[in-house]
Amino acid sequence: MLDDATARTAVTAAADRLFYARGVQSVGMDAVRAEAGVSLKRIYALYPSKEDLVVAVLAGRTQQWADGLDRWAAEADTPREQVLAVFDFLDAWFREDGFRGCAFINSFGELGATSPRVAEAVREHKESFRRYVEELVQEAGLPDAVALQVVLLAEGAQTTAAITRDADVARQARAAAEALIDAAVPA
Amino acid sequence: MLDDATARTAVTAAADRLFYARGVQSVGMDAVRAEAGVSLKRIYALYPSKEDLVVAVLAGRTQQWADGLDRWAAEADTPREQVLAVFDFLDAWFREDGFRGCAFINSFGELGATSPRVAEAVREHKESFRRYVEELVQEAGLPDAVALQVVLLAEGAQTTAAITRDADVARQARAAAEALIDAAVPA
DNA sequence: GCACACGGAGAACGACCGTTCTCCGACGGT
DNA sequence: ACCGTCGGAGAACGGTCGTTCTCCGTGTGC
């Protein structure tokens, strides 16, 4: 018997795998039950509706994303390198097996128009990413405008890597960010 | 009675409106029939399956996109401005009522994992956009690497504008592209 | 005027999905 | 040993969807 906490993580982890691989709407709750090994009754006790489960999955991804960014930034030596570490993080991610683009962008495209809660979760995630980059940019003594430029390159790299299946875009996005940073500091 | 050609465009135009506004999977074929004013029997005579209709809609969007880019590029005075016209085109688009992001990215997130034909249509579109920018960049005498940078900024601008509902990102993406172009030409 | 092919409206069909319910076996307290 | 409770397995329910079929009115060729 699983306590609620472990059942919760089993369900969200299973749902995350399935939703990310196939899209939310093409995964039935029964598939989540089979993947998680948790009965439907239990799942509905923990998450009253599929939408709740989707939101929980996205919340988990936001957490993982923040942790991953922190880990890569921590390995950078200089504040400038910390900003650029965003792209090293992306590079490693793009090369993972089963990379299928940004789960938030995918969910937004699929459900943003019909589920305000999902749309809001996506907005919050992107907002928190932007704030995170802003902090790094400020610590590096760069103008605020650089933060949004880095964000745009990172978002563009994610969708482009997903669609073209070319992981090298991370490196090229990094090079673009380097050029923008260099252009932003007074020579 | 409509001839096949007009019925085709009525159906694809209606499907385009509905799919773009609500997502593909949440629009039933019956809603397409109502919006287009074309009977189900006729629709299935023109497009043997919903997937065929989706692919046709995406093909139409690829055409519209190319036309729009051409129109904006034609108004630019210099080759450099032609490259940057991409972002003016995006700016105008982001400000349109009902803007919901890039239909290709949305469709890819929703169906890319389950429909190879949709995934392929999206890839072809993004590929043709990249080639188009490459041409502009070459005509402006800029290094090839600038083309992908412009593409990444444009893609990032589209997803960011859709999610944050902030049309101003087009201007900031343009500014970033200007900086990258300036950095790419030997001073 | 009539047979006939055609297209539209919408019912029908089979499949699936989110959610709930039923049934039954297992386990803990006395 | 017995009773009550809990949770799991899976059937059931109501709804929707993609696709096909049926029926009927219309218009055309003779």
User: What is the pLDDT averaged over residues B157-164?
Assistant: 98
- Average pLDDT across chain B, whole number: 96
**pLDDT score at B126:** 98
Chain A segment 72-111 residues within 8 A of B by beta carbon are 100-101, 104-111
| A182: CB partners within 8 A, 6+ apart | B183
- Domain B50-184 in CATH 3.90.870.10? The answer is no
The nt closest to A4 (CA vs C1′) is: D7
* Residue B169: pLDDT over 90: yes
CA atom of B41 to C1′ atom of D26, Å: 17
**pLDDT score at B4:** 80
From chain B, the residues in CB contact with A112 under 8 A are 23, 100-101, 162-163
Extents of the domains making up chain A? 1-48, 50-184
Nearest to A178 by CA among A156, A148, A146, A155: A146
For the segment B101-115, what is each residue's pLDDT rounded down to a tens digit?
A: 999 999 999 999 999
**pLDDT score at B37:** 94
CA atom of A2 to C1′ atom of D1, Å: 29
For the segment B120-148, what is each residue's pLDDT rounded down to a tens digit?
A: 999 999 999 999 999 999 999 999 999 99
**Long-range CB contact pairs, A74-78, < 8 A, 24+:** A78/A140
User: Residue A151 is which amino acid?
Assistant: V
d(CA A11, CA A38): 7
> Contact at 8 Å (CB) between A156 and B177?
no
Question: Nearest-CA residue of chain B relative to A154?
Answer: B156
Tokens representing A186 are 């007074």
Q: Check if A1-48 and A50-184 are the same fold.
A: no
Nearest to B152 among A111, A126, A176 (CB): A176
**Considering chain B, what percentage of its residues have pLDDT values greater than 70?**
98
> Contact at 8 Å (CB) between B144 and A175?
no
Q: How confident is the model at residue B1 (pLDDT cuts 50, 70, 90)?
A: low
For the segment A103-151, what is each residue's pLDDT rounded down to a tens digit?
A: 999 999 999 999 999 999 999 999 999 999 999 999 999 999 999 999 9
**pLDDT score at B3:** 80
Class of A1-48 in CATH = mainly alpha
Tell me whether B164 touches chain A (CB under 8 Å).
yes
**pLDDT score at A187:** 58
User: Residue B104 is which amino acid?
Assistant: F
> Contact at 8 Å (CB) between A126 and B163?
yes
CA A115 to chain centre: 19
From chain A, the residues in CB contact with B176 under 8 A are 149, 152-153, 180
**CA-based torsion, B24, A25, A170, A156: positive or negative:** positive
Question: Nearest-CA residue of chain A relative to B99?
Answer: A113
**pLDDT score at B140:** 95
Alpha-helical segments (H) within chain A: 4-22, 29-36, 40-46, 50-74, 79-94, 103-111, 116-139, 145-164, 169-184
Element (H, E) at B115: none
Length of chain A: 187
Over its length of 187 residues, how does chain A's per-residue pLDDT go in tens digits? Answer: 678 888 999 999 999 999 999 999 999 999 999 999 999 999 999 999 999 999 999 999 999 999 999 999 999 999 999 999 999 999 999 999 999 999 999 999 999 999 999 999 999 999 999 999 999 999 999 999 999 999 999 999 999 999 999 999 999 999 999 999 999 886 5
